[in-house]
Structure 1
């Protein structure tokens, strides 16, 4: 379990792995970015990429499994919406890692300054 102070959330190692594996792909990052701005149908998203509709659906399934997007039905259409809360959790985790490394570098700088 990963805990970080700036965000009121806890992530298991599996959740962290799913989130960052999902975000490791450029197409999936683009889908998240597009659906942060506004909801998009799977068909609309599929038109933007040089891949099959089924391939886009697979990307969305990975994002949904990581909790980064949600699907909702509007009539016959399925719309995708980014989950901003999940992105804030990922951001909080990265900020924690950044603080840890800044602290370590400051300690190294202090040690080198002593010599």
Structure 2
């Protein structure tokens, strides 16, 4: 799994774009990134762009829930950006469409993220 972070100072939102696989082998990297990179710098509103993931397992889904919980405890929020049809099916089957705000475009997510 690779990721890159872009910070939108005007919206106070960090946008994290993921590529590859989000699974048991790299789930801890996501939590470390939130705890060691985002929160210490004051970024508690985050958009995870998951459209370019080609694989996600139950650990990957679990880390999304954990990430949201960590941010919520700090008064923040996590939303997803996804336009990948295969991943949409997986997220819907897991009920994530009811648990997360999921946007089709980054700009839409930035406009609607709860500040």
TM range (shorter): under 0.3
- Name the structure where helix makes up a greater proportion of residues: 1
What is the TM-score with the length of structure 2 in the denominator? 0.26
Larger radius of gyration: 1
